[in-house]
Amino acid sequence: MSEPVPQILLVEDNRSVAEPIRLYLECIFKCKVIIAEDGAHGWWFLSDPNRKFELCISDLELPNISGMQLLTRIRETPDLRYLKFFFCTAWCTPELVWEATSLKVNGFIVKPVLTAELKTRFTPFLEELPNNDSTRKSSSIILNSTHTSKHVK
């Protein structure tokens, strides 16, 4: 019997941002990406005892529950406390970076999202998954080659 496919929760209210990320992660890492369109929806998925996510990627600014509030809830919940968590955002202040770091965020992805940045950031986490195979490491897909890289300082 094959092992279950790893699941990633992507909490993003902009479908045009979420879909390319979903397609890329599913292609490269052979996982299932669930998209929640707001923080409350994201929390609903995370609170479901029948689901197990390996990673959560969230926008900072979301309807209903912000990304920071979502991360806070995760870190306060014993069963979720160690979930790998990344923010995917178009902007960030030093204060937000400090707050997220104090909540043990695993990293930041800056919009517009580059495929190379997704691969660099998530490969170390997703290669550790139980059903990892060599196809994860060798697959490639191009989402948009016109984006330029930006870094959070």
**Max Cα–Cα distance, the chain, nearest Å:** 48
What integer pLDDT is reported at residue 2 of this predicted model?
Answer: 64
What is the value of pTM for the model shown?
0.81
Q: Which two tokens stand for residue 32?
A: 């299932």
Domains detected in the chain: 7-138 (3.40.50.2300)
> What three-state secondary structure class fits 48?
coil
Asked whether the beta carbons of 73 and 60 are under 8 A apart, the reply is no
CA dist 119 and 80 (Å) reads: 24
Q: At 58, phi and psi to the nearest 5?
A: -135, 145
Q: Which two tokens stand for residue 113?
A: 């999202």
Asked whether the beta carbons of 85 and 56 are under 8 A apart, the reply is yes
* Nearest one of 90, 147, 81 to 114, comparing CA atoms: 147
What integer pLDDT is reported at residue 10 of this predicted model?
Answer: 98
CA dist 73 and 65 (Å) reads: 10
Q: Mean pLDDT in runs of 10 for the chain (153 residues)?
A: 83 95 90 96 97 96 96 97 94 90 93 82 73 41 32 33
Give the pairing of strands 32-36 and 7-11: parallel
What integer pLDDT is reported at residue 114 of this predicted model?
Answer: 79
